[in-house]
Chains A and B, each alone.
Chain A
Amino acid sequence: MGSAHSVPAEMRELADRTGFTSEQIEHLHRRFKQLSRDQLTIRKENFDSIPDLEFNPIRAKIVHAFFDKRNLRPESDGLADEINFEDFLTIMSYFRPIEMNMDEEQLDRFRKEKLKFLFHMYDSDHDGKITLQEYRNVVEELLSGNPHLEKESARSIADGAMMEAASICVGQMGPDQVYEGITFEDFLKMWQGIDIETKMHVRFLNMETIAHCY
């Protein structure tokens, strides 16, 4: 049947970089316009209009991740005030599922990227390490809002998890050793053997095959 309109060059470039198909990009563009209320950029306030997101305990961290420059471009740091559609797509592409035709090296890179995204969510002060305090913050956020849970319980859960992390990364620690924090290499070690590819992905429907049914 053949598409009667040509895909513009920027669209193809976006598709190559993020791995979405042009139809998916169009659909996400419409979603972007909805969220930004027809502006060219999105700010943090625009995420307030999503009711489903309100239920999410780590909502603040998720919204923050969209504006985190470490996720948007390699080797950059800091927080952006607003993001455009390209940045929006870049963040969404972290949640792409794995494709059948990926080789070992691609799979490994894919996995590292997803874990890096998760790492940045925990490492809120951007120093490259997840300290005990940062870990505690995440646990508290996840458990926040429950009047029955005391702060102490949340802390003990975080401490326990941190100790387990230390044992995986550093092995047996001497009595004077202080575990400073989880670096990204340690983080990767913790996830060895655990299959994250099926857990951290959003199944974007492939619209192309459907359109051709016509």
Chain B
Amino acid sequence: MLRFTRAVQGPRTSQWATLQIEEGVKKQKVLALGNLISTGIIQREETSMEKEIAGHRRGHFNLADAMYFSQKGCEAVAEDEVTWRFYSEELVSWNLLSRTNANLHNVSWQLTVVWVFGILIRYCLLLPFRVCLSVFSILLLVFATTVVRQFPNGRVKCWLSNQVQMMCAALGVRSLGGLVHFHNRENRPQGGGICVANHTSPLDVLILASDGCYSLVSQTHGGLLGLVLRSCMQTTQHVLFERSELKDRHLVRKKIREHIADKAKLPVLIFPEGTCINNTSVMMFKKGSFEVGGTIYPVAIKYDPCFGDAFWNSTKHSFVTFVFNVMTSWAIVCNVWYLPPMVKEEGEDAVHFANRVQAVIAARGGMSVLPWDGGLKRKKVKESLKEEQQKKYCQIVTENGSMGNGSVC
């Protein structure tokens, strides 16, 4: 907020040159500050539990252990690595969207004027245009897929349905204010492979579909999104399932395996995180898609948060609210990198392969890698993971206890 006021007040001629230099320095500091803010408010100790506790051990159980754990507890309450990934990213400087300004301070009247002007443009100019375009594109999709369905099965039909899908997806991206830059298009996924990408919102699908044709593996949705999915189902082979059915992993895996065995079929698009993450990090990749074999084509998708937030917080907003938010943002600017294909090496297990792909995607997109499961958005931590931590502590206590218990008083 402070930064913006400066720009609005405008440089006086004599200070123009100084400001230009400062812009460059500012950009560097924004990057650094951005990293710091994502890191948060606490500087954590890097020592492990063993060192901390063993350090102040005198041969038997010590009150100080409770102190150590209460400090860790307080740190966790003040901030943790995971929960904030399921909320929209906080911006370093405000982008004039009131929803991204957590603390709406009345900074100055000039800023308010600019903000009101921005609202007028977004709601009265951009929104109606975008709504019209998206309605048109959905109607076109439904109409065109119905037409194509009438064609006899064959190469022409396949080609036509691909073209229809790509065109409607491209229109859809434009209607949501999307500005996409594709990099390394020579690495685009081929038939018979699996395309994996990090997941931030349903827009990911649209963006990828505008540049290539894929078979989707996704959960069934209701409402508007469900309608769109069902129309696409008419002409292309997609794999849809219930989220609860996901437990029937064998069935899903079998379907995917059958699909990629046929090289003529479209590549399968999978989001191994399993849920939407806020695009600052890549969470654990579920190993299921990496077990089927076949070539993996990793894709990194990174949104620029300056102009709009593409993250869908499904626990907070419905799909329609999300689409409305996207349409009333300035734009959705995004970079898509097609990365070279990867295969599972001899003797490598699926988890290791999944981590390898995750690291490659995160490195390209400039996001951090988290070993946590995206499922934590809805579920609690697995009991087995908790017990491991407690076992570690018990070992430390009993080892030293057995040595020191003799000499107490």
Q: Do A and B bind each other?
A: yes
Q: 1/0 per position for A123-155, CB-CB distance to B under 8 A?
A: 000000000000000110011111011000100
8 Å CB interface, A166-190 against B: 167, 190
Which residues from chain A contact B105 at a C-beta distance below 8 Å? 5
B43 cross-chain contacts in A, Cβ below 8 A: 203, 205
Q: Which residues of B contact A194 (CB under 8 A)?
A: 64
Q: How far is the CB of A209 from chain B (nearest CB, A)?
A: 11
- A residues 25-54 near B (Cβ < 8 Å) are 26-28, 30-31, 34-35, 47-54
A-B contact pairs, 12 of them (CB 8 A): A24-B41, A54-B380, A58-B69, A59-B73, A118-B63, A122-B66, A153-B398, A157-B397, A157-B401, A160-B408, A202-B42, A203-B42
Q: Quick one: which of A31, A139, A196 contacts B78, CB cutoff 8 A?
A: A31
Q: Tell me if B363 is interfacial: C-beta within 8 Å of chain A.
A: no
Bound-state CA distance A146–B393 (Å) is: 9
- Say whether A79 faces chain B, with CB atoms less than 8 Å apart: no
With A5-B105, A51-B83, A167-B409 already in contact, the answer to whether A149 and B78 are too (CB < 8 A) is no
Flag if A200 contacts B70 (CB, 8 Å): yes
Q: Is the CB of A50 within 8 A of B83?
A: yes
Contact B61 A158 (CB under 8 A): yes
Contacts of B108 in A (CB 8 A): 4
**Within B354-409, which residues are at the interface with A (CB < 8 Å)?**
372, 376, 380-381, 385-387, 389-391, 393-394, 397-398, 401, 405, 408-409
Q: Is B76 an interface residue (CB 8 A)?
A: yes
Determine whether A201 belongs to the interface, using a CB cutoff of 8 Å to chain B: yes
Q: Which of B18-62 contact A (CB under 8 A)?
A: 26, 29, 33, 36, 40-44, 56, 60-62
- CB-based contact A53/B36 at 8 Å: no
**In the complex, A211→B409 CA distance in Å?**
54
B393 contacts A204, CB within 8 Å? no
Number of residues from A at the complex interface, CB < 8 A: 70
- Once bound together, how far apart are the Cα atoms of A30 and B394, in whole Å? 36
The complex places the Cα of A199 from the Cα of B47 at a distance, in Å, of 12
Q: Is B36 in contact with A210, judged by CB distance below 8 angstroms?
A: yes
The 8 Å CB contact of A50, one of B2, B80, B387, is B80
Q: Is A207 an interface residue (CB 8 A)?
A: yes
Residues of A within 8 A of B84 (CB): 34
Q: Is the CB of B401 within 8 A of A53?
A: no
CB distance from A47 to the nearest CB of B (A): 7
* A4 and B107 within 8 A (CB): yes
In the A-B complex, the 8 residue pairs with the closest CB atoms: A62-B73, A52-B76, A145-B390, A146-B394, A54-B381, A52-B80, A203-B43, A53-B76
Instruction: Map CB proximity to A onto B269-280 as digits: 1 under 8 Å, 0 otherwise.
Output: 000000000000
Say whether B150 faces chain A, with CB atoms less than 8 Å apart: no
Q: Within the assembled complex, what's the spacing in Å between the Cα atoms of A162 and B391?
A: 23
Number of chain B residues close to chain A: CB under 8 A: 66
A190 proximity list for chain B (CB < 8 A): 63
Q: Are B74 and A202 in contact (CB under 8 A)?
A: yes
Docked pose: A157 CA to B399 CA in angstroms: 12
Q: Are A207 and B41 in contact (CB under 8 A)?
A: yes
Residue of A nearest to B373 (CB): A51
| A57 and B36 contacting across the interface, CB-CB below 8 Å | no
Choose one: A5, A95, A142; the contact of B1 (CB below 8 Å).
Answer: A5
- The answer to whether A48 touches B71, judged by C-beta atoms less than 8 angstroms apart, is no
Chain A nearest Cβ from B52, distance in angstroms: 9
- State whether A164 touches B408 (Cβ < 8 A): yes
A9 interfacial by beta-carbon distance below 8 Å: no
Q: Is the CB of A143 within 8 A of B393?
A: yes
A117 to B73, CA, bound (A): 13
User: What CA separation (Å) do A89 and B84 show in the bound complex?
Assistant: 19
Asked if residues B394 and A149 are in contact (CB atoms below 8 Å), the reply is yes
Q: Does A15 contact B (CB under 8 A)?
A: no
| Chain B residues within 8 Å of A156, by CB | 405
> Closest residue of chain B to A53, judged by CB?
B76
**Chain B residues in 8 Å Cβ range of A122:** 66
A65 at the interface (CB under 8 A from B): yes
The answer to whether B42 touches A205 (Cβ under 8 A) is yes
Indicate which residue in A48, A92, A138, A153 contacts B380 across the interface (CB closer than 8 Å): A48
Closest beta carbon of chain A to B108's beta carbon, Å:
6
Within 8 A of A (CB), among B85-134: 87, 90, 102-103, 105-108
Q: How far is the CA of A99 from the CA of B36 in the complex (A)?
A: 22
With A4-B2, A205-B42 known as contacts, the answer to whether A56 contacts B72 (CB < 8 A) is yes
Bound together, the chains give a CA A62 to CA B78 distance in angstroms of 13
Asked if A204 and B42 sit within 8 Å, CB to CB, the answer is: yes
Q: Do B83 and A49 have beta carbons less than 8 Å apart?
A: yes
**In whole Å, how far is A27's beta carbon from the nearest beta carbon of chain B?**
5
CB neighbours (8 Å) of A5 from chain B are 1, 105-107
Q: A26–B42 contact, CB under 8 A?
A: no
A100 CB–B CB distance under 8 Å: no
B295 CB to closest chain A CB (Å) equals 34
Selected contact of A160 from candidates B107, B390, B405, CB within 8 Å: B405
CB–CB A53/B80 < 8 A = yes
> Does A80 touch B at the CB level, under 8 Å?
no
Q: Are B42 and A1 in contact (CB under 8 A)?
A: no
In the assembly, what is the distance between CA of A155 and CA of B79, in Å? 34
Q: When chains A and B are docked, how far (Å) is the Cα of A196 from the Cα of B65?
A: 12
What chain A residues lie within 8 Å of B41 (beta carbons)? Answer: 24, 27-28, 31, 204-205, 207
B5 at the interface (CB under 8 A from A): yes
